[in-house]
């Protein structure tokens, strides 16, 4: 069973799945040819899948996000780690040397640069910096597609250069895609990748009350069509699918055709000492086998 220290994502991200990661990984269907994840976000799930792949035993890794900054950042980390580490460290050093008001000014200067930058490598560096120093690790764009998150008042940021180097090696086998999830899944299906796969989905926030869509805008400009998403998954005819989210009545209504697993219950059975005080749930189309401690 997986119970190791959870690795952090290099991208600070609001609402990442970090806290329930081991519980989730223990419920993943192991020993499949392909691991497919189509809402990558910070990448924290992927990173920990790779770390624990001696137990999960996947051969290929296909991951996607509609946010091009995330995908370009990971591609840069994969291909040019030295370049990324050098440039992000330079920005961090300057930032840390400033007083509070200079830090704020610097943040807004770099945010402007990011929104105007055309060169992808430079933009990826700025993206990583802005996520670290912006408000709460939130990614949000205005109607014109410009990143508009305010300054986060972070006193000091730390970049672990050695860790970034290790991550670069860890993500070597991964194929990154920057598509809308429907096109990504169509590509997976057409290439015959779905048959022998485990698919993990962490879709955009589902508001408890669909009329209150504001929180959803933390992630994207548009509201995400969860019912359309369910239809797409059913269409795939994949045998092993997990979709994670917070518990809510809306979730039950929309995802009611799947098996509902409470991560808390799973954890309780695995390790009675640790209790997970959350309402995180995972919908699956397969029965989760509860792992025992070795
Ligand atoms: C809830 S977050 C994933 C968080 C991630 N599991 C983590 O722990 O960091 C959802 C992600 O879906 C992406 N997304 C939103 N709409 C999408 C779409 N139509 N196609 C693909 N990705 C989409 C967002 O950019 C966001 O990164």
Read off the pLDDT band of 293 (50, 70, 90): low
Say how many Å lie between the CA of residue 202 and the centre of ligand 1: 7
Residue 168 lies in a domain: no
> How many C-beta neighbours within 10 Å does residue 72 have?
17
Q: Residue 33 above 60 pLDDT?
A: yes
**What value does the mean pLDDT take over residues 250-267?**
84
Q: What is the pLDDT of residue 222?
A: 60
Choice among 65-74, 85-94, 114-123, 222-231 with the minimum mean pLDDT: 222-231
Q: Are residues 61 and 183 in the same domain?
A: yes
Query: pLDDT digit string (tens) for 119-171?
Result: 999 999 999 999 999 999 999 999 999 999 999 999 999 999 999 999 999 99
Burial of 71 by CB count in 10 Å (0-12 exposed, 13-18 middle, 19+ buried)?
A: buried
Residue 97 lies in a domain: yes
219: which 2 tokens? Answer: 């992630």
Q: Residue 40 above 60 pLDDT?
A: yes
Q: What is the pLDDT of residue 279?
A: 79
Q: Are residues 275 and 185 in the same domain?
A: yes
How far is Cα 27 from Cα 52, in angstroms, rounded to an integer? 13
Q: Which domain holds residue 89?
A: 73-162
Helices 68-79 and 81-97, packing angle to 10 deg? 110
According to DSSP, the β-strands at 197-201 and 259-262 are unpaired
How far is Cα 107 from Cα 113, in angstroms, rounded to an integer? 10
Q: Which atom belonging to ligand 1 lies closest to the Cα atom of 11?
A: 9
Residue 293 lies in a domain: no
Q: Are residues 128 and 50 in the same domain?
A: no
Q: Residue 276 above 90 pLDDT?
A: no
Residue 134 lies in a domain: yes
Question: What CATH number does residue 128 fall under?
Answer: 1.10.1020.10
Residue-averaged pLDDT of the chain: 90
Q: What is the pLDDT of residue 4?
A: 85
Q: Which residues form ligand 1's pocket by a CB distance below 6 Å? A: 13, 16-17, 38-39, 41-42, 44-45, 64-67, 180-181, 202, 204, 219-220, 224
Q: What is the dihedral of CA 224, 225, 226, 232, to 10 degrees?
A: -120
The C-alpha angle with vertex 291 and arms to 290 and 294, in degrees rounded to 5, equals: 160
Query: Total domain count for the chain?
Result: 2
Helices 120-133 and 68-79, packing angle to 10 deg? 110
Residue 44 lies in a domain: yes
How far is Cα 165 from Cα 51, in angstroms, rounded to an integer? 14
Query: pLDDT digit string (tens) for 194-233?
Result: 999 999 999 998 876 655 544 444 444 468 999 999 999 9
* Distance set, CA 121 to CA 7, 114, 137, 149, 170 (Å): 24, 11, 21, 21, 20
Pocket test for ligand 1, best of 219, 223, 227, 232 (most atoms within 8 A of CB): 219
Q: Are residues 62 and 189 in the same domain?
A: yes
Paired with 261 in beta bridges are: 282
Residue 291 lies in a domain: no
How far is Cα 79 from Cα 65, in angstroms, rounded to an integer? 18
Q: Which atom belonging to ligand 1 lies closest to the Cα atom of 70?
A: 27
């Amino acid at each position: 069973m997986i119970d190791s220290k959870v690795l952090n994502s290099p991208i600070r991200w609001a609402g990442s799945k970090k806290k329930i990661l081991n519980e989730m990984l223990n419920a993943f269907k192991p020993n499949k040819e392909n691991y497919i994840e189509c809402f990558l976000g910070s990448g924290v799930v992927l990173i920990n899948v790779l770390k624990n792949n001696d137990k999960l035993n996947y051969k290929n890794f296909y991951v996607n996000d509609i946010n091009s900054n995330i995908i370009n950042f990971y591609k840069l980390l994969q291909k040019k780690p030295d370049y990324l580490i050098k440039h992000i460290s330079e920005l961090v050093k300057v930032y840390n040397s400033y007083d509070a008001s200079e830090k704020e000014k610097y943040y807004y200067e770099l945010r402007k640069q990011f929104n105007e930058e055309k060169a992808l490598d430079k933009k990826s560096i700025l993206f990583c910096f802005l996520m670290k120093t912006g408000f709460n690790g939130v990614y949000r764009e205005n109607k014109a597609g410009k990143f508009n998150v305010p300054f986060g008042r972070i006193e000091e940021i730390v970049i672990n250069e050695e860790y970034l180097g290790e991550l670069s090696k860890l993500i070597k086998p991964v194929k990154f895609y920057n598509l809308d999830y429907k096109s990504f899944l169509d590509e997976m299906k057409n290439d015959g990748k779905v048959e022998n796969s485990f698919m993990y989905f962490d879709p955009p926030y589902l508001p408890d009350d669909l009329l209150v869509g504001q929180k959803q805008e933390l992630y994207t400009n548009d509201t995400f069509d969860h019912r359309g998403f369910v239809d797409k998954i059913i269409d795939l005819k994949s045998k092993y699918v997990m979709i994670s989210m917070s518990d809510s009545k809306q979730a039950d209504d929309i995802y009611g055709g799947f098996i509902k697993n409470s991560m808390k219950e799973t954890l309780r059975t695995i390790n009675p000492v640790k209790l997970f005080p959350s309402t995180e749930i995972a919908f699956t189309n397969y029965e989760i086998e509860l792992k025992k401690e070795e």
